[in-house]
A and B are shown apart, each in its own frame.
Chain A
Amino acid sequence: MIFLVAFLVLVMLAAAIAAFFFRDLLSAVIASCIVSLIASIIFFLLQAPDVAMAEASIGAALLTAILIIAIRRTGRYEE
């Protein structure tokens, strides 16, 4: 159980660091989506199913979609 949590936290932090370094904004958005998704699993493990549901549907789905739409309207690469 605690090793599962440690593994999830490691992957989450790695995805956040990847979101920091990516020059391609689309990849950065997908990395932040992974952060939200794993955070939702951790919310569930912390016995907060309401918050896990909100984070999965809003943070991982809607926010990613909104960011991708904005990137389509402005430009994909960070120069």
Chain B
Amino acid sequence: MTFLNEYAFYIGAFGLILIGLLTILLRHHLIKLIIGLSIMETGINLFLIAIGYISRGTAPIFPVDGGAGTVMVDPVPQALVLTAIVIGVAVLAMALGMAIRLHGHYGTLDMRRIKELKW
């Protein structure tokens, strides 16, 4: 019970990061790699938000009257993650554009069949 209380969010975040990393390392298809990147990014965002959480804190938004003195969670990681999500979708769209061009050039997205991408 206390274990769950302490670690449930961390397990979720780092589970996503490790699964995304495994997808990037083990899969051969470029679109699968991009899906892995997006999963990893979600995990990192989740971890940053979980770090900023304060027990029994409320969302960092003041009501119309008062609200002074209430405990609020840390707003800085939330602002950073907001930035990271928007940048992330732009970067992934760019990667997908490159994948589409590669498919036009080689006729496949399998990394074993594209010589320059083999490792």
Question: A residues near B, CB below 8 A?
Answer: 2-3, 5-6, 8-9, 12-13, 16-17, 19-20, 25, 28-29, 32, 35-36, 39, 42-43, 46-51, 54-55, 58-59, 62-63, 66-67, 70-71, 73-75, 78-79
Contacts and interface: CB of A to CB of B under 8 A. Distances in A.
Chain B interface mostly: helix
B110 A63 contact: no
B39 A16 contact: yes
Contacts, number: 140
Interface residues of B, number: 52
B8 interface: yes
Interface of B: 1, 4-5, 8-9, 11-12, 15-16, 19-20, 22-23, 26-29, 31-32, 34-36, 38-39, 42, 45-46, 49-50, 52-53, 57-61, 73, 78, 81-82, 85-86, 88-89, 92-93, 96, 99-100, 103, 109-110
